[in-house]
Amino acid sequence: MAQTRFTKEHEWTRLDGDVATCGISDYAQKALGDIVYVELPPVGKKVKQGEQVAVVESSKAASEVYAPIDGEIVAVNDNLAGSPGTVNEAAMGDGWFFKIKPANAEQADQLMNEANYQSYLKGLNP
């Protein structure tokens, strides 16, 4: 099974073969509250790690979503247009945002694994 990796900005990525699925973490969706809108990038867009690629709006705020790795957007989760609340229900599953064909798959190895991310979160909320 593919390992999930996390950024400090609370994006996650899961590499499966030559495609990485990406979204926001459960922590991020809880912090945002009820998700009411998700703006996704166009398929075919080339992105760089750390570049803004999507926007998520909630009842509390709007927040940028950044590319966890370099690559090309090869798919977006069109279901979020009609059901943005899916992010609240399953941020790490059906609430994924986009899929990237990585330019350098090793970039994901430099992101936090689950244990490191949980430790990072504890540091945010002592």
Of the chain, the end-to-end C-alpha distance in Å amounts to: 32
Amino acid at 103: A
Whole-angstrom distance, CA of residue 101 vs CA of residue 62: 27
Stretches in the chain below the pLDDT threshold 50: none
- Whether this prediction's pTM lies above 0.85 is answered by yes
Per-residue confidence (pLDDT) for residue 1, from 0 to 100 = 54
Whole-angstrom distance, CA of residue 19 vs CA of residue 100: 6
Per-residue confidence (pLDDT) for residue 60, from 0 to 100 = 87
Alpha helix stretches (DSSP H) within the chain = 26-32, 79-82, 86-89, 114-124
3-state secondary structure of 104: coil
Whole-angstrom distance, CA of residue 65 vs CA of residue 46: 15
- Structural domains of the chain ordered from first start: 4-105+112-124 (2.40.50.100)
Per-residue confidence (pLDDT) for residue 87, from 0 to 100 = 97
Q: Which long-range contacts (CB under 8 A, 24 or more apart) does 59-65 make?
A: 59/33, 59/34, 60/32, 60/33, 61/32, 63/28, 63/32, 65/11, 65/24, 65/97
